[in-house]
């Protein structure tokens, strides 16, 4: 079927997952999607989202630290074997 095609078309969404949204974007999404939310409710929800983002940031730091640990171990082992210690 593809060999008869004359054009390729694709579509993507422009939605950014909630935990990846910056503060102003999240605030505007809440205002547009749920217009009946009060300003206080919107701010409460945005602040809650930011707290959840902070957990992801800490988890990401932990993942990076764990990923680097074996590399540090290999480097230290190679230095010890070379007699540079």
Structural domain boundaries enclosing 52: 18-74
Mean pLDDT on 36-65: 86
pLDDT greater than 80 at residue 23: yes
Confirm whether pTM is higher than 0.75.
no
Q: What is the distance between the alpha carbons of residues 37 and 12, in angstroms, rounded to a whole number?
A: 29
Number of DSSP helices (H) and strands (E) in the chain, helices first? 2, 0
pLDDT greater than 90 at residue 27: yes
Looking at every residue in the chain, the average pLDDT score rounds to 77
Tell whether 6 is covered by a domain: no
The conformation of residue 83, written as its DSSP 8-state character, comes to T
Domain count, the chain: 1
83 φ, ψ (degrees, to nearest 5): 85, 15
Tell whether 82 is covered by a domain: no
Tell whether 59 is covered by a domain: yes
Tell whether 30 is covered by a domain: yes
Alpha carbon of residue 63 to chain centroid:
13
């Amino acid at each position: 079927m593809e060999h008869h095609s004359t054009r390729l078309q694709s579509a993507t969404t422009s939605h950014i997952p909630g935990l990846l949204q910056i503060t102003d974007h999240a605030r505007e999404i809440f205002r547009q999607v749920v217009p009946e939310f009060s300003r206080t409710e919107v701010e409460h929800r945005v602040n809650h989202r930011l707290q959840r983002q902070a957990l992801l940031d800490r988890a990401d730091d932990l993942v990076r630290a764990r990923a680097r640990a074996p590399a540090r171990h290999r480097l230290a082992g190679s230095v010890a074997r070379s007699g540079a210690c």
